[in-house]
Copies of this chain bind each other. A is one copy, B any other.
């Protein structure tokens, strides 16, 4: 079989104008960016408002291996399969992080015959939305340190007299806004900023800081959750950056930087329209990392797609404990639109690899033994798949398991897995998905089962309601969502919870960051663990995004590069084409 990039280059793509018009957009409602990308204006939402709202399908997965189980392949494949069945359909996915593209995972455009094209444009820069988030985020960070510096340098009275601004008296030890970068750069997790040559102060006030990956920026969550540009601007204005020496929160409005941040993100609020290899319109918006971030495609992109056609296929990152949980408890609550069906992606190699019968390392070739029939390994990890089916069902969302077929998969094992799923008591459906090898033709069965499940009446129920207190919400996600036996808050987290309660913030949602490699907070525990503890070490207020962010276990919000990073394969050939991207 050809490589992803070869398949992509061998496909004749439709002009993006034609794709936009086929999707139902008017000429004035999009602006092309080259031949294959277009920014979609939010003006279309007003015109489309009277249209019926389509069905929302969320693609999720079993607990994944570090290489991923092909969720994007399945999302794109399913959208193409629905199109083969003459349904009007739009896919909505997140913009890949260059951190991942250059790091471990490589590109995130799907693969084989189920790709968003051109994959090199999707995977690199795209239309600059992540860069805009990064720029806006770091502007606020520069503004904080500059303000601390000038107020300290001049003294509060002189500062006020000279600048005509009110001194904010920011406590340098209580700056809660880090900087961000869209790279996997572990050396930036903890940094000392504002250092000076001995005896000098021109570089500002020395303090401890750090960088997160850009996808973990509160601004990325705001982009994903905002309903329009005005809402974006208002949410940005609610961001708390630091606290004063008197303990008062310092917002972006206090620093007069909220407007400029919104200006930097003005173009980013428009989703980017692309197409799949079979010409299905695909909206790209907001950022990845459903482990350490909100990690779902945007409400704005969904809202456009839901009005353009019968089906909107989107994905929530990682397993159903991660992106799907956030899709239900944060996104659906904000948008008012619940998922009509969940597709749970499972793979033979993922189940077997997670069974602990194999040694499976990212960046290394898969062990050959993984492709030999191994009923025992499959059964060992089947509990994990069952857990995800039950998890989806507890939200009242009907499920279809998509077994994402890899070329080396054996028919016998596929049949075994299918039979095991069909024997379950749930109303779960199952289909082998061959989107990778055959595109939409390979997902017809999956598409039919998704359509059938979407026809069922919705009984959606999130895990918590806004009027519960923050502690109850954290417990709900950990104990009901993950199946934990207990939640242990660190002393710091307890204090923060108390503080947020006093600030009257109990109506916010909660966004938990944890490893995606286990349902628990310990990445080495596979299967369907029960009764484990969820240690919450720290909370962060994201008042603009509308949630309190909880760091669980030893999760880190800035990944690192592995020993042999994906970037080593990348280069330009003699014709200037990109090689080594997958």
With contacts A125-B132, A183-B135, A187-B145 taken as known, whether A263 is within 8 angstroms of B571 at the C-beta atoms is yes
A259 CA / B573 CA spacing, docked (Å): 9
A502 interface contact, C-beta 8 A: no
Are A260 and B563 within 8 A (Cβ)? no
Interface of A is mostly: mixed
A497 CA / B127 CA spacing, docked (Å): 43
With contacts A125-B131, A162-B563, A576-B230 taken as known, whether A187 is within 8 angstroms of B149 at the C-beta atoms is yes
From residue A156, how far is it (CB to closest CB) to chain B in Å?
Answer: 12
User: Among residues 192 to 219 in chain A, which have CB atoms less than 8 Å away from a CB atom of chain B?
Assistant: 192-197, 202-205, 208-209
Are B182 and A203 within 8 A (Cβ)? no
With contacts A259-B570, A561-B143 taken as known, whether A135 is within 8 angstroms of B98 at the C-beta atoms is yes
Chain A 421-432, CB-CB to B under 8 Å as 1, else 0, gives: 000000000000
A514 interface contact, C-beta 8 A: no
A444 interface contact, C-beta 8 A: no
A556 CA / B196 CA spacing, docked (Å): 13
Q: Which residues of B contact A259 (CB under 8 A)?
A: 567, 570-572, 580
From residue A118, how far is it (CB to closest CB) to chain B in Å?
Answer: 12
A39 interface contact, C-beta 8 A: yes
From residue A379, how far is it (CB to closest CB) to chain B in Å?
Answer: 32
Are B229 and A576 within 8 A (Cβ)? yes
Within 8 Å by CB of A202, from B183, B186, B256, lies B186
Q: Which residues of B contact A138 (CB under 8 A)?
A: 181, 183, 185
A189 interface contact, C-beta 8 A: yes
With contacts A98-B264, A563-B150 taken as known, whether A142 is within 8 angstroms of B183 at the C-beta atoms is yes
With contacts A31-B35, A124-B263, A132-B125 taken as known, whether A191 is within 8 angstroms of B195 at the C-beta atoms is yes
A320 CA / B159 CA spacing, docked (Å): 36
Q: Which residues of B contact A576 (CB under 8 A)?
A: 229-230, 266
A146 CA / B163 CA spacing, docked (Å): 43
Are A204 and B186 within 8 A (Cβ)? yes
Chain A 127-170, CB-CB to B under 8 Å as 1, else 0, gives: 11001101100110111011001100010000100111100000
A188 interface contact, C-beta 8 A: yes
Nearest chain B residue, comparing its CB with the CB of A259: B571
Q: Which residues of B contact A195 (CB under 8 A)?
A: 189-192, 208
From residue A360, how far is it (CB to closest CB) to chain B in Å?
Answer: 15
A490 interface contact, C-beta 8 A: no
Q: How large is the interface on A (under 10, 10 to 19, 20 to 34, 35 or more residues)?
A: 35 or more
Q: Which residues of B contact A31 (CB under 8 A)?
A: 34-35
Q: Which residues of B contact A11 (CB under 8 A)?
A: none
Are A135 and B125 within 8 A (Cβ)? yes
Leading 9 A-B pairs by shortest Cβ distance: A259-B571, A145-B187, A260-B567, A146-B561, A142-B185, A190-B195, A131-B131, A260-B570, A192-B192
Chain A 571-582, CB-CB to B under 8 Å as 1, else 0, gives: 110101010110
A55 interface contact, C-beta 8 A: no
A184 interface contact, C-beta 8 A: yes
Within 8 Å by CB of A187, from B98, B184, B193, lies B193
User: Among residues 551 to 566 in chain A, which have CB atoms less than 8 Å away from a CB atom of chain B?
Assistant: 556, 560-565
A203 CA / B195 CA spacing, docked (Å): 19
Q: Which residues of B contact A450 (CB under 8 A)?
A: none
With contacts A124-B263, A204-B186, A570-B259 taken as known, whether A561 is within 8 angstroms of B196 at the C-beta atoms is no
Nearest chain B residue, comparing its CB with the CB of A150: B563
A102 interface contact, C-beta 8 A: yes
A190 CA / B191 CA spacing, docked (Å): 10
Within 8 Å by CB of A194, from B102, B187, B257, lies B187
Q: Which residues of B contact A33 (CB under 8 A)?
A: 33-34
A276 CA / B208 CA spacing, docked (Å): 46
Are B257 and A568 within 8 A (Cβ)? yes
A23 interface contact, C-beta 8 A: no
Apart from A124-B267, A125-B264, A263-B571: 11 A-B pairs, beta carbons within 8 A: A125-B132, A127-B128, A142-B187, A142-B561, A143-B567, A146-B187, A187-B203, A229-B572, A256-B567, A263-B581, A266-B576
A300 CA / B230 CA spacing, docked (Å): 40
Q: Which residues of B contact A128 (CB under 8 A)?
A: 125, 127-128, 131
**28 pairs, CB–CB < 8 Å, chain A vs chain B:** A31-B35, A124-B264, A127-B128, A131-B134, A135-B182, A139-B183, A142-B184, A142-B185, A142-B187, A142-B561, A149-B186, A163-B563, A164-B564, A187-B193, A187-B204, A187-B209, A189-B195, A189-B203, A190-B196, A191-B195, A229-B572, A229-B576, A233-B571, A257-B567, A259-B567, A262-B571, A263-B571, A266-B572
